Amino acid sequence: LTTHPHITHATVHLRHDQPHHPHLTAYLVPTDPGTLDLAAVRAHLARFLPDYMVPSALVPIDRLPLNANGKVDVRALPRPRPAAAARRRPRSMREGLLCELFAEVLGVDAVGVDQNFFDLGGHSLLVPRLISRIRSALGVELPIRRLFDAPTAGGLAAALDERVAGRQVTSGLETLFPLRTAGTGVPLFCVHPAAGISWCYAGLPRLLGRGVPVYGLQDPGLADPARLPGSVEEMAAGYVEHIRAVRPHGPYHLLGWSFGGLVAQEAAVRLQEQGEEVGLLCLLDSYPRYGMRDGGRFALSAPADPGERAGELRRVAGVSVELDERELAAVYRCTVNNARLMSRFEPRRFDGDLTFVTAALEREEGDPGWESWRPYVSGAVENSAVACAHLGMMRPEPLAEVAATVLRALRPGPGRGRRARSGPA
């Protein structure tokens, strides 16, 4: 560090600010605080040190604090803090997903697009874990060196637009969308809302713990208009094939939000018809014949130019990031088609219990409730109410409650029999 021309003094310490995640932090006294380029310092270190020796955080300070013996007073060294200005919102779905993966691996609530993985406490022992998560979520092999060259979600998203390791990065619109493949537990398969996109579930794996693999199921019409399903039944049959390709035999755990709840319920029925066990069926504010509360009215009358409804389409998709022109067009055609499919669909009877989550805010008189599923479920309907609007269920706080509901439903205990009586909300 002190061989760098703009650093006068330096000290490096191993910090334990996060349990089980010790990380090297370098404290630098620059010759001119206004001109020190931390990225250049990191590149300077990489010329001399192996990756695991490069400090994960570089902290400029005015002077080294000394104790009475003239040694560095470690207790007086400040804890590294990310710059608040770096918390810029994602501009694309890929950036949004990378931010979620950064947060999951670092064990923090949220990460901004321009926040440096290493400045947030990342270190060489966490790098392989992040690379593995990116591989499973985006289907691309990313060289470890690339993370050191582009240690932010924004930088990595730009890098992933290139060919990496001889492969083109996946588009993110594939039907089977792995959110996390690692884990020894039974996978959770999440069906998209009306817009067809399962990126909205990106925050769920972190909330469920490391043992649960999570896969999104996305409308095949996103990638190819010719593949738009002709019915909910056709869509569910296709998803069952993808589910069984990942896990040939049950038990199966299924979740669906809004329109996706109708598809998840039909997929559960089909799996049972194939002699398989469905261990969990969880529906999020999804109702028979009312599955399109997430935008069905506007979808049938929206203008042909999807750009005029970009904000509404993003809300229907359940994502807070911007959608590019191709993504907007895909979301629009899927939303319109799924509104049509919903209007024709009559659920069949599922032989088992149902876990339900109600979005309790902005409900109007006459809106359907969880009771509307009773004719289509043989067992109990266990309802939990979350203080959010229907389109807000994928926000961080409601999503955390959804994850807690899923974990409770998966926990074995008395009173969880398949034939238990349906109770009140």
Q: Are residues 307 and 266 in the same domain?
A: yes
Q: What is the pLDDT of residue 412?
A: 66
Name the pLDDT band for 380 (thresholds 50, 70, 90): very high
* pLDDT at residue 172 in the model: 67
Q: At 256, is the secondary structure helix, strand, or coil?
A: strand
> 50, 81, 112: which is the final residue of a domain?
81
Question: Residue 418 falls within a domain, yes or no?
Answer: no
Same domain for 259 and 178?
Answer: yes
Which parts of 345-420 fold into alpha helices (H)?
396-410
* Mean residue pLDDT across the chain: 80
Domain membership flag for residue 424: no
- Whether pTM > 0.75 for this model: the answer is no
Which pair of tokens denotes residue 129?
A: 């874990």
- Distant-in-sequence, close-in-space partners of 188: CB < 8 Å, separation ≥ 6: 204, 208, 212, 213, 214, 215, 253, 254, 255, 280, 406
Q: Which of 52, 81, 110 is the last residue of a domain?
A: 81
| Cα(190)–Cα(423) distance, integer angstroms | 25
From 120, 153, 170, the end of a domain falls on: 170
| Same domain? 17 vs 94 | no
Residue 204 lies in a domain: yes
CATH assignment of the domain containing 236: 3.40.50.1820
74: domain CATH number is: 3.30.300.30
Q: Given a cut of 60, is residue 302 above it in pLDDT?
A: no
Same domain, 253 and 160: no
Residues 316 and 327 in one domain: yes
Residues 38 and 116 in one domain: no
- Highest mean pLDDT, choosing among 70-84, 132-146, 165-179, 191-205: 191-205
Q: Tell me what pLDDT residue 415 has.
A: 39
Identify whether residues 250 and 318 lie together within a single domain.
Answer: yes
Residue 32: predicted pLDDT: 83
Quote the number of domains for the chain.
3
**pLDDT band for position 320 (50/70/90)?**
low
The whole-number average pLDDT for the span 366-376 is 90
Whether the per-residue pLDDT at 83 is higher than 50: the answer is: no
pLDDT of residue 154: 87
Residues 118, 91 within the same domain: yes
Which of 141-150, 221-230, 316-325 is least confident? 316-325
Q: Which residue, 307, 283, 108, is CA-closest to 193?
A: 283
**Domain membership flag for residue 391:** yes
Q: How far is CA 7 from CA 51, 59, 74, 369, in A?
A: 21, 12, 19, 64
What is the pLDDT at residue 106?
A: 83
* Strand intervals (E) in 142-201: 176-180, 188-191
pLDDT tens string 217-247: 999 999 889 999 999 999 999 999 999 999 9
What is the average per-residue pLDDT within 132-158? 77
**148 shares its domain with 263:** no
Per-residue pLDDT band for 144 (boundaries 50, 70, 90) equals: low
pLDDT at 319 over 80: no
* Confidence (pLDDT) at 275: 96
Is 157 among the domain residues? Answer: yes
Residue 27 to residues 19, 22, 81, 235, Cα–Cα distance (Å): 21, 16, 12, 56
Is the same domain home to 199 and 302? yes
Asked if the model's pLDDT at residue 269 lies above 70, the reply is yes
Angle (CA) 110 261 292, round 5°: 95
3 state DSSP class of 14: strand
Q: Does 38 or 358 have the greater pLDDT score?
A: 358
**Is-contact 423 380, C-beta < 8 A?**
yes
Tell whether 176 and 307 lie within a shared domain: yes
Q: What is the CA radius of gyration of the chain?
A: 24
For residue 168, pLDDT over 50 is answered with no
**What's the domain range around 146?**
85-170
What stretches of 193-351 show up as alpha helix (H) in DSSP? 204-208, 232-246, 259-273, 296-301, 310-317, 325-344
Residue 423 lies in a domain: no
Same domain assignment for residues 189 and 326:
yes
